Amino acid sequence: MINSQPNIVSPASFTMEHIVFSPDLTIADNVVLENLSGEIEIGLLGANLESIKARRDSRDISALQSFNDPKSQFFDPTVLSTYDLRHLRHTLPVIVGKNVVAPYIASARRIVRHETDVVMATHLILYFSTSVPSAIWLFYNFTYLHGVLHFLMQAWYTGSYTLMRHQHIHQNGVLTKDSSLVRLFDMYFPYVTDPLMGHTWNSYYYHHVKHHHVEGNGPDDLSSTLRYQRDDLFHFLHYLGRFFFFVWLDLPLYFFRKGQTVNGARILFWELFNYFSLFILYQLHSKATTFVFLLPLLLMRLGLMVGNWGQHAFVDPDEPDSDFRSSITLIDVASNRYCFNDGYHTSHHLNPRRHWREHPIAFLQQKRKYAEEKALVFHNIDYLMITVKLLQKDYDHLARCLVPIGQEQIKLSMKDRAEMLRGLTRRFTEEEIREKFPRAGQKQKEL
């Protein structure tokens, strides 16, 4: 059942569950949210219908797996971020679908790493046909109108691009390895597109893969939220300012402290080389450099930190080193439709190499474990708005967006939910950090 208006489930008099099925949810998110809402209804009725739950889980997992299986009649590759393929087939004229869309999908499936990922080819075509020529033209013939329009276009692209690169850095590429020419392009296109989208060369890889996933929001993580009160504006500004101005130095120093001299030297080189390049370009054409490179850089730095704050704002003081209890899952439009299932952040931390289309399946397969571990699932809200609502201390809104899993959460009233969430944003003292992370500095994960 899909509605644009809230579907209110209220089998118990002491609580109300507001589950909103947005018409823009992905097919997978609809399946997951329907599955969870069914469990909430059963839980609130006080029923213990494990056999029904198991049959529903098996049905939903099989359906999601068939969408990802190229041999299945239900195979549903992602072609565009905005629309599902089945939507395109029903809305486009038959002649367009047959003579344009179908041949494109057939060709793209041969050059992408995973056959589900036609969208990767779509995005690369989009960026190299709009962002790249637009940037070049600004250096050739700059106008303020073009500069503003270019920056707005890049601002629209940055979320999807960053999560495409997220897939790229975790799986060593998004295009096929079968063609040496395609593989070469796959290796080097980020050196063209990264600075256009606000990334400095190779920083995302070293910070995210070699650093963040190793530390997992622990005390040695440069982007850790542990030492901050996560609903305090001044704490957030300190968090943002440190990353904004000092990550170029903090990250190399982190690697040096860990004895990873080569990684430290590499990231220091790329950071300094990137800023030196921007300085030279600014001397050559200050206006074009500002709109093409500097403004996207500032926007990206802001977006990364606002997003990471929301991803790791709720940390259980009992087990802060648990991936289940230090990250969250979102069933929402922005994170999952446009940003390659970035909402399944807990699933990603549990297995950083998991393909983005596998996250909803993995979530349903481990749903009981999520409930046992008191994991948090939200819907109808993205990471940016979670950060905003936290800084507004609007826990009532966050409580309404919570999708309770497991009987303990299901039985909570809205007020109790809000208080539970409030308790998970408290800063950790240094004494607590030493107690909860006795082996800080030694933690390693297989990536």
pLDDT tens profile 80-115: 999 998 888 888 898 998 999 999 999 999 999 999
Separation between Cα atoms, residue 382 and residue 352, nearest integer Å: 20
pLDDT at 17 over 80: no
CA 10 to centroid of chain Cα atoms: 32
Q: How many CB atoms lie within 10 A of CB 316?
A: 18
Angle CA 407–349–160, to nearest 5 = 110
Q: Where are the beta strands (DSSP E) in 309-426?
A: 328-331, 376-379
Q: What's the pLDDT band for 388 if we cut at 50, 70, 90?
A: very high
pLDDT at 443 over 60: no
Output the pLDDT for position 447.
37
266-304 CB burial, b ≥16 within 10 A, e <16: bbbebbeebeeebeebeeeeeebbbbbbbbbbebbbebb
Q: How many CB atoms lie within 10 A of CB 408?
A: 13
Output the pLDDT for position 48.
65
For residue 164, the one-letter residue type is M
Output the pLDDT for position 5.
38
Q: How many CB atoms lie within 10 A of CB 93?
A: 9
pLDDT at 442 over 70: no
What the block records as the tokens of 368 is: 């009981």
pLDDT at 186 over 70: yes
Give the tens place of pLDDT for each residue, 26-73: 999 999 999 999 888 877 666 667 778 888 999 999 999 999 999 999
Please report where in the chains the tokens 């692209």 appear, as a residue.
157
Output the pLDDT for position 9.
36
In sequence order, the 6+-apart residues with CB closer than 8 A to the CB of 281 are 288, 289, 293
Separation between Cα atoms, residue 345 and residue 323, nearest integer Å: 9
Separation between Cα atoms, residue 57 and residue 371, nearest integer Å: 14
Output the pLDDT for position 52.
80
Contact criterion met (CB below 8 Å) for 396 and 418: yes
Angle CA 54–340–161, to nearest 5 = 175
Q: How many CA atoms are closer than 13 Å to the CA of 221, on its beta-carbon side?
A: 25
Contact criterion met (CB below 8 Å) for 113 and 171: yes
Q: Is 113 exposed, middle or buried (0-12, 13-18, 19+ CB in 10 A)?
A: buried
Which whole number is the average pLDDT over 319-332? 96
SS3 175: strand
pLDDT at 79 over 90: yes
Q: Lowest-confidence range among 82-86, 135-139, 300-304, 346-350?
A: 82-86
Give the tens place of pLDDT for each residue, 207-257: 999 999 999 999 999 999 999 999 999 999 999 999 999 999 999 999 999
Output the pLDDT for position 185.
97
Output the pLDDT for position 41.
82
Mean pLDDT of the chain: 92
DSSP of 84-135: -HHHHHHHS-HHHIIIIIHHHHHHHHHHBSSTT-HHHHHHHHHHHHTHHHHH
Output the pLDDT for position 6.
38
Output the pLDDT for position 16.
38
Separation between Cα atoms, residue 236 and residue 384, nearest integer Å: 13
Q: What's the pLDDT band for 441 if we cut at 50, 70, 90?
A: very low
Give the tens place of pLDDT for each residue, 268-277: 999 999 999 9
pLDDT at 7 over 70: no
